[in-house]
A and B are shown apart, each in its own frame.
Chain A
Amino acid sequence: MPTITIFQDDLKSLLASDRSTDRGITIAQLEEWLMLAKGELKGHNLETGELRIELQDSNRPDLWCCEGIARQIRIKQQGRLKPYSFFDKKPKSPHHLIVKPGMEQVRPYVAACTAKGYRVSEKGLAQLIQTQEKLADIFGRKRKTVSIGIYQLRNITFPVTYELVKPDDVRFTPLGMETTMTLSEILMVHPKGLEYGPILAVKSLLPVLRDAKDQPLSFPPIINSREIGEVQVGDDELFVEVTGTDLPMVMLSLNIFAANLADRGATIEPVEVQYPTSTMLGKRVKTPQDFGKPKTIRTKAIEQALGQELGETVVKQALESYGYDVSAEKGSVKAKLPPYRHDLMHTMDVVEDVAMSRGYAEFTPVMPTQFTVGGLSAIEQLSDRSRDLMVGLGFQEIISNILGSPDHYSGFMRLHGTEWGRTVDVDNVMSLSFSCLRQWMLPSLLRIEASSSRAFYPHRLFEAGDVAIPDDAHELGSQTETVLGALIAHATTHFSEIHSSLDVLFYYLGKEYSLEPLQHPSFLEGRAGRILVSGKSVGVIGEVHPEVLERWQIAMPVAAFDVNLSKLAAN
Chain B
Amino acid sequence: MDISAVIDSLHPLEIKVLTTLGARPSGTALDGEQLASVAELEPSQLSMAVEWLLAKSLITVQAETVTPIVSLTKVGEEYYQTTSPIERILAAAREATGNGTRLTIPDLQAQGGLDPSDVSKAIGRLKKEGVVLIIQGGCIETTGRPSPTAETLRTLLEEMHDSSKELKSFTETHRQVIEDYAVKRGNAKEPFRVDERVTRSFILSTDGVSAAEQLLKQGVAEEVSQLTPDLLKDGNWRQKRFRKYTISLRPPRIGTGKKHPYREFLDAVKAKLVSMGFREMRGALVETEFWDMDALFMPQFHPARDIHDVYFVKEPSHTTVLDEPFLSRVAKVHENGAETESTGWGYSFDVHRARRLVLRSQGTAVSARTLAASPNIPGKYFSIARCFRYDQVDATHATDFFQVEGIVLGEAINFRTLLGLLNLFAREVAQAKDVKFLPAYFPFTEPSVELHVRHPRLGWMELGGAGLFRPEVTLPLGVTVPVIAWGLGLDRMAMVALGIHDIRELFTDNLELIRTTRGLF
A interface residues, Cβ below 8 angstroms from B: 1, 35-36, 38, 56-59, 138, 141, 304-308, 344-349, 351-352, 355-356, 360-361, 363-377, 379-380, 384, 387, 390-403, 424-428, 430-431, 434, 437, 447-452, 454-461, 465-466, 468, 472, 475-480
Contacts and interface: CB of A to CB of B under 8 A. Distances in A.
Contact of B441 (A1, A391, A427, A437): A1
Contact of A367 (B255, B257, B303, B417): B417
Given A58-B303, A348-B468, A466 B386 contact: yes
Given A475-B320, A476-B288, A476-B319, A426 B313 contact: yes
Contacts, number: 271
Interface string B293-335: 0000000011100010001111111011100000000000000
Given A38-B440, A365-B420, A478 B286 contact: yes
18 contacts: A38-B439, A346-B340, A348-B447, A364-B419, A365-B420, A365-B422, A368-B420, A372-B378, A375-B274, A376-B280, A387-B263, A396-B255, A399-B506, A427-B312, A448-B514, A476-B286, A478-B286, A480-B283
B416 A347 contact: no
B515 interface: yes
Contacts of A476: 284, 286-288, 319, 357
A345 B311 contact: no
Given A372-B277, A372-B376, A355 B259 contact: no
B408 A368 contact: yes
Contacts of A452: 509-512
Contacts of A479: 284
Nearest to A144: B301
A566 B514 CA distance: 27
B419 A360 contact: yes
A278 to B, nearest CB: 18
Interface in B266-288: 267, 270, 273-288
Given A377-B282, A480-B285, A370 B378 contact: yes
Contacts of A345: 337, 342-345, 472
A228 to B, nearest CB: 33
Interface in B370-425: 376, 378-380, 386, 388, 390, 392-393, 398-400, 408, 410, 412-417, 419-424
Given A35-B438, A360-B419, A396 B258 contact: yes
Interface string B149-183: 00000000000000000000000000000000000
Considering the complex of A and B, which 10 residue pairs feature the smallest CB-CB distances, nearest first?
Answer: A307-B414, A452-B511, A307-B416, A352-B447, A370-B378, A365-B419, A56-B441, A374-B274, A372-B277, A480-B284
B498 to A, nearest CB: 12
B417 A366 contact: yes
Given A352-B448, A361-B437, A367-B417, 15 more contacts: A346-B446, A347-B341, A352-B446, A365-B422, A380-B280, A391-B257, A392-B257, A396-B515, A402-B386, A402-B388, A428-B390, A430-B392, A452-B509, A465-B386, A480-B284
Most B CB within 10 A of own CB, among A365, A396, A430: A365
Contacts of B446: 346, 348-349, 351-352
A374 B275 contact: yes
Contacts of B379: 372
Contact of A306 (B393, B415, B472): B415
B286 A424 contact: yes
A69 to B, nearest CB: 14
A367 B255 CA distance: 46
Contacts of B313: 424-427, 477
B240 interface: no
B257 A395 contact: yes
A458 B288 CA distance: 43
Contacts of B419: 360, 363-366
Contact of A370 (B283, B410, B423, B437): B410
Given A307-B415, A380-B280, A427-B317, A396 B285 contact: no
Contacts of B340: 346
A141 B301 CA distance: 9
A396 B286 CA distance: 29
Contacts of A427: 311-314, 317
B417 A368 contact: yes
A372 B279 contact: yes
A547 B438 CA distance: 56
Contact of A348 (B283, B471, B512): B471
Contacts of B413: 368
A431 B394 CA distance: 13
Nearest to A248: B346
A489 B307 CA distance: 41
A305 B449 contact: no
Contacts of B400: 401-403, 434
Contacts of B393: 431, 434
A402 B413 CA distance: 36
Contacts of B263: 387, 397, 399
A360 B437 contact: yes
Contact of B415 (A35, A363, A401, A403): A363
B463 interface: no
Nearest to A467: B285
A466 B388 CA distance: 13
A367 B420 contact: yes
Q: Which of A1, A306, A352, A373 has the most chain B CB atoms inside 10 A of its CB?
A: A352
A371 B417 CA distance: 14
B26 interface: no
B455 interface: no
Contacts of A141: 301, 303
Nearest to B391: A430
B260 A399 contact: yes
A475 B359 contact: no
Contacts of B422: 365
Contacts of A450: 509
B80 interface: no
B352 to A, nearest CB: 15
Contact of A437 (B285, B421, B423, B507): B285
B278 A374 contact: yes
B413 to A, nearest CB: 7
B262 interface: yes
**Residue of A365, A368, A391, A472 contacting most chain B CB atoms (<10 Å):** A368
B408 A391 contact: no
B256 interface: yes
A376 B267 CA distance: 11
Contacts of B301: 141
Q: Which of B253, B419, B439 has the most chain A CB atoms inside 10 A of its CB?
A: B439
B470 interface: yes
A42 B47 CA distance: 64
